[in-house]
Amino acid sequence: MIKKEEVQHIAKLSRIKLSQQELKRFQGDLSSILDYFNSLKEVDVSEIEPTFHPAEYFFGKSLGKMRKDKAESQPSEVVNKLIEAAPDKKKRHISVKAIF
């Protein structure tokens, strides 16, 4: 079982204040999660094929034939209208509020 001090440390890192009741509950919850992961280690997977790339499921084997990801130039008329509609701009750059 995970120690109470470990739960307190995780809560501190997450910047969450927990009551004694919550500490006890999360101690049990986190222990259950870790126990589940430990039980997965016991499963014999030696006969199981490795999984494939998830995109193959959706795109099939044509995954390598997909178009290259590249920037496409917008017609200057559309870009100019978007920049003109911006409330705060400097030359051709739109100013936004700082998030930090």
pTM, 2 dp? 0.46
pLDDT digits (tens, 9 = 90+) for 52-75: 666 666 666 655 566 677 776 666
* C-alpha count within 13 angstroms, C-beta hemisphere, residue 57: 4
**Domain spans in the chain, listed from the N-terminal domain onward:** 1-63
Distance CA 71, CA 76 (A): 14
Residues 6+ away with beta carbon under 8 Å from 73: none
Which residues lie closer than 8 Å to 1 by C-beta, 6 or more apart? 27, 28, 31
**For residue range 3-56, what is the model confidence (pLDDT) as tens digits?**
999 999 999 999 999 999 999 999 999 999 999 999 998 999 889 887 766 666
Dihedral, CA atoms, 81, 84, 90, 92, nearest 10 degrees?
A: 10
- Say what the pLDDT of residue 33 is: 95
